[in-house]
A and B are shown apart, each in its own frame.
Chain A
Amino acid sequence: MNYLIRNVSILGGEPTDLLLQDGVISEGAADGAEEIDGTGLVALPGLVDLHTHLREPGREDAETVETGTRAAAMGGFTAVHAMANTEPVADTAGVVEQVWRLGREAGHCDVFPVGAVTVGLQGERLAELGAMADSAARVRVFSDDGKCVSDAVLMRRALEYVKAFDGVIAQHAQEPRLTEGAQMNEGELSGKLGLTGWPAVAEEAIIARDCLLAAHVGSRLHVCHVSTAGSVEIVRDAKRKGWDVTAEACPHHLILTDELAATYDPIYKVNPPLRTAADVEALRAGLADGTIDIVATDHAPHPHEDKDCEWAAAAFGMLGLETALSIVQATMVDPGLLDWNGVAERMSYAPARIGRVAEHGRPIEVGEPANVVLYDPAARRTIDPTDSASLSRNTPYRGMELPGRVVATFLRGKPTVLDGKLV
């Protein structure tokens, strides 16, 4: 089936027609193509998420590759990188290939497994990074996300080692000793609420160290979920020096602050924690000026009982795939900080580059793979947790009115979402 999208605005440009034929973007005669009215819609390149938790294998009570990729498609993603903190950990070729295969079989979006940096995420010795890179999954991004590679020597070795196959270490920056038992951002509110604080310096100190290490050994470094103004400054400084550092910000850090913890509702518990309004502002500015290269969701599904309890007992993490684009529109596009070209860069081209994913993050031009998202920026929706493709319900935006709606998602010309619904 081919698709002709009429009168659509590609990246915010003048409305035109867009033909998806035989899996690529085409031009010319559109015989037998199904027509889609693109009036009022924006066409974006299929989004690429560099940071998702699909939970399979091991935590299928929270999410599976099937349900997670469905949620991804609903959010406009055609590719996601699945983090390695599964059970068993994705630290061998065997596990990453399993995840990769599950993604192909589900067929809702492409899954690129992330390999663990250390065996079992224990932070003691390197996992077989080469084997994972050579596997069918062709892993290029390695991360112990959930935990920090805190040992400086181990981080150095990892940064050096992956150069052999153009890999990148994606660091979850969290100094473990400074954040023992931490529950929320350390600041005015944590003292009042009696919740152990997670100080900004625990993130910034690791980022600073890793930037220096990467520069020293001539490696590239990717920093996951940057959350503080100080971290943005450090990354900006590293880039100024010409160091090969990339960074991501999560949608929730662009819009939510630590004030929400005052409700003691663990729906707002996340790692790194929600920070202050000043941090949110710095992140938006950093995303606008390119200091922060990409938006990544850190989609972290959790079953109901892991959030329906007292704060200290609750799991860290929030859903993100289905609301990411709306959050970016609300915080960046509508206020004029980023245009649709910018969104394409931050949510498709750049993540694909960092992940070395060739078939995604391509411009919407004739000949390119037909990985396209049709988005309606004029729509408004109130977020309803029960109306989600994810298996879990832990979205912090329930009841919030957000702009925009994904109308259709095409994966190599095949629709995964049509008319706002899963195909």
Chain B
Amino acid sequence: MKRHLLSAGDLTRDDAELILTTAAELRELADRPIKKLPALRGRTVVNLFFEDSTRTRISFEAAAKRLSADVINFAAKGSSLSKGESLKDTALTLEAMGADAVVVRHGASGAPHLLANSGWVRSSVVNAGDGTHEHPTQALLDAFTMTRHLGSLDGRRIAVVGDVLHSRVARSNALLLHTLGAEVTLVAPPTLLPVGIDTWPVETSYDLDAVIPKADAVMMLRVQRERMQGGFFPTPREYSRRYGLDARRMATLQDHTIVMHPGPMVRGMEITADVADSSRSVIVEQVTNGVAVRMAVLYLLLGGNESD
């Protein structure tokens, strides 16, 4: 694997499968009395979170600690309008502290690329979500969850539903699932699909009811009510009516189809409570798998010596 994980599109099929098989091994760690492996002993992993995200940060923290790494949490207040001093000066400080890996979440698309290419830090950079661009470890844990329920993803039909335009999860999933051989359909109102999406390796549809009966997995994306201000849809109610997953729609799914969500959910908007809490929903399991997948990523990036 390369030195950084910036985009799901950077992973070859072999890379992706290596991460998933490694994660499968590491998931068993959760059942042991001592949930620790010494692989990253003495390494320092910094969580550099410019956006609030307790869930993802804790997941990375747990992953690093289970590999015996030292973890430093750095929650920086940096709005997308603030000057780059925030990012650059912060990066230089981390470098001075001797970080081996920086896990970065930032509101600006491309911030992890800047960190990786600027020469400010020598550490490996893991993208934990940049603006509306990508969230590669989320896609990896989603794919991992799917393989545990569906087996190989070759030819599997995956529906990703919601605000694709603003979703980094959608972008990473579209790329990774395609790499793993799945057929992805993005479902959204036309206003929430980006220009140029016909060049993505996906199908698109405006009709949720037509797509989900054929899907092996349905992934619901969060839709912010604030998007209404931008006129992307007239009312939350209309959005839910046309694109929300409720019990009625859930009944049209095949028996084996799983329901996923990267979280946090807006119950009642894109997904109803009875769907989120149903036996089809693997939403909680996604969180558990997140730690194992992030352990795999950290181990493969830092566990050895990339002298090639």
Q: Which residues of A contact B130 (CB under 8 A)?
A: 194
Q: Are B109 and A313 in contact (CB under 8 A)?
A: no
Query: Within 8 Å of chain B (Cβ to Cβ): is A243?
Result: no
The minimal Cβ–Cβ distance linking B112 to chain A, given in whole angstroms, is: 9
The docked-state distance in angstroms from the alpha carbon of A140 to that of B82 is: 37
Digitize A241-257: 1 where CB-to-B-CB distance is under 8 Å, 0 elsewhere: 00000000000000000
Digitize B120-149: 1 where CB-to-A-CB distance is under 8 Å, 0 elsewhere: 000000000011111000000000000000
Q: Are B113 and A264 in contact (CB under 8 A)?
A: yes
The docked-state distance in angstroms from the alpha carbon of A312 to that of B78 is: 12
Task: List residues 79-112 of chain B with CB under 8 A from any CB of chain A.
Answer: 80-85, 87-88, 106-111
Q: Are B84 and A199 in contact (CB under 8 A)?
A: no
Q: Which segment of B27-35, B58-66, B192-200 sits at the interface? A: B192-200
Q: Give the one of A263, A308, A310 with max B CB within 10 A.
A: A310
The docked-state distance in angstroms from the alpha carbon of A314 to that of B85 is: 11
Q: Are B82 and A188 in contact (CB under 8 A)?
A: no
Query: Within 8 Å of chain B (Cβ to Cβ): is A387?
Result: no
Write the chain B residue with the least CB distance to A199. B195
Query: Within 8 Å of chain B (Cβ to Cβ): is A189?
Result: yes
Q: Which residues of B contact A265 (CB under 8 A)?
A: 117
Query: Within 8 Å of chain B (Cβ to Cβ): is A191?
Result: yes
Query: Within 8 Å of chain B (Cβ to Cβ): is A305?
Result: yes
The docked-state distance in angstroms from the alpha carbon of A187 to that of B109 is: 16
Write the chain A residue with the least CB distance to B82. A313
Q: Are B132 and A194 in contact (CB under 8 A)?
A: yes
The docked-state distance in angstroms from the alpha carbon of A269 to that of B195 is: 20
Query: Within 8 Å of chain A (Cβ to Cβ): is B168?
Result: yes
The range of chain A's interface size is 20 to 34
Digitize B241-260: 1 where CB-to-A-CB distance is under 8 Å, 0 elsewhere: 00000000000000000000
Write the chain A residue with the least CB distance to B120. A308
Q: Which residues of B contact A311 (CB under 8 A)?
A: 108-110, 114
Query: Within 8 Å of chain B (Cβ to Cβ): is A186?
Result: yes
The minimal Cβ–Cβ distance linking B107 to chain A, given in whole angstroms, is: 7
Q: Are A264 and B114 in contact (CB under 8 A)?
A: yes
Q: Are B83 and A305 in contact (CB under 8 A)?
A: yes
Task: List residues 304-329 of chain A with CB under 8 A from any CB of chain B.
Answer: 305-306, 308-314
Q: A308-B88, A312-B80 are in contact. Are A197 and B114 (CB under 8 A)?
A: no
The docked-state distance in angstroms from the alpha carbon of A54 to that of B174 is: 46
Digitize A177-219: 1 where CB-to-B-CB distance is under 8 Å, 0 elsewhere: 0000000001111111111110100000000000000000000
Q: Are B196 and A191 in contact (CB under 8 A)?
A: yes
Q: A187-B195, A188-B196, A197-B195 are in contact. Are A312 and B109 (CB under 8 A)?
A: yes
The minimal Cβ–Cβ distance linking B175 to chain A, given in whole angstroms, is: 9
The docked-state distance in angstroms from the alpha carbon of A313 to that of B81 is: 5
Q: Which residues of A contact B114 (CB under 8 A)?
A: 264, 309-311
Q: Are B196 and A314 in contact (CB under 8 A)?
A: no
Q: Are B84 and A309 in contact (CB under 8 A)?
A: yes
Q: Are B109 and A195 in contact (CB under 8 A)?
A: yes
Query: Within 8 Å of chain A (Cβ to Cβ): is B171?
Result: yes
Q: Are B110 and A195 in contact (CB under 8 A)?
A: yes
Q: How many A-B residue pairs have CB under 8 A?
A: 87
Q: Which residues of A contact B133 (CB under 8 A)?
A: 193-195
Q: Which residues of A contact B132 (CB under 8 A)?
A: 194-196
Write the chain A residue with the least CB distance to B85. A305
Write the chain A residue with the least CB distance to B167. A194
Q: Give the one of B81, B106, B108 with max A CB within 10 A.
A: B108
Q: Are B109 and A305 in contact (CB under 8 A)?
A: no
Contact partner, B131, options A189, A309, A312, Cβ 8 Å: A312
Q: Which residues of B contact A263 (CB under 8 A)?
A: 113, 117
Q: Are B196 and A313 in contact (CB under 8 A)?
A: no
Q: Give the one of B88, B114, B199 with max A CB within 10 A.
A: B114
Q: Which residues of A contact B88 (CB under 8 A)?
A: 308-309
The minimal Cβ–Cβ distance linking B122 to chain A, given in whole angstroms, is: 18
The minimal Cβ–Cβ distance linking A257 to chain B, given in whole angstroms, is: 14
The docked-state distance in angstroms from the alpha carbon of A193 to that of B131 is: 10
The docked-state distance in angstroms from the alpha carbon of A347 to that of B226 is: 48
Q: Are B197 and A310 in contact (CB under 8 A)?
A: no
Write the chain A residue with the least CB distance to B193. A191
Q: Which residues of A contact B109 (CB under 8 A)?
A: 193-195, 264, 311-312
The docked-state distance in angstroms from the alpha carbon of A248 to that of B132 is: 34
The minimal Cβ–Cβ distance linking A230 to chain B, given in whole angstroms, is: 15
The minimal Cβ–Cβ distance linking B9 to chain A, given in whole angstroms, is: 8
The docked-state distance in angstroms from the alpha carbon of A195 to that of B106 is: 13
The docked-state distance in angstroms from the alpha carbon of A340 to that of B168 is: 50
The minimal Cβ–Cβ distance linking B87 to chain A, given in whole angstroms, is: 6
The docked-state distance in angstroms from the alpha carbon of A6 to that of B239 is: 76
The docked-state distance in angstroms from the alpha carbon of A102 to that of B162 is: 56
Selected A-B contacts with CB under 8 Å, 9 pairs: A188-B195, A192-B171, A193-B133, A194-B109, A194-B110, A194-B168, A264-B113, A310-B80, A311-B109
14 new A-B contacts, CB < 8 A, other than A194-B130, A195-B109, A305-B83, are A187-B195, A188-B195, A190-B195, A190-B196, A193-B110, A194-B110, A194-B168, A197-B194, A263-B113, A264-B113, A264-B114, A311-B110, A313-B82, A314-B84
Which positions in A face B, CB cutoff 8 Å? 186-197, 199, 263-265, 305-306, 308-314
- The 6 lowest CB-CB distance pairs between A and B, nearest first, are A309-B84, A194-B133, A191-B194, A264-B110, A188-B196, A194-B109
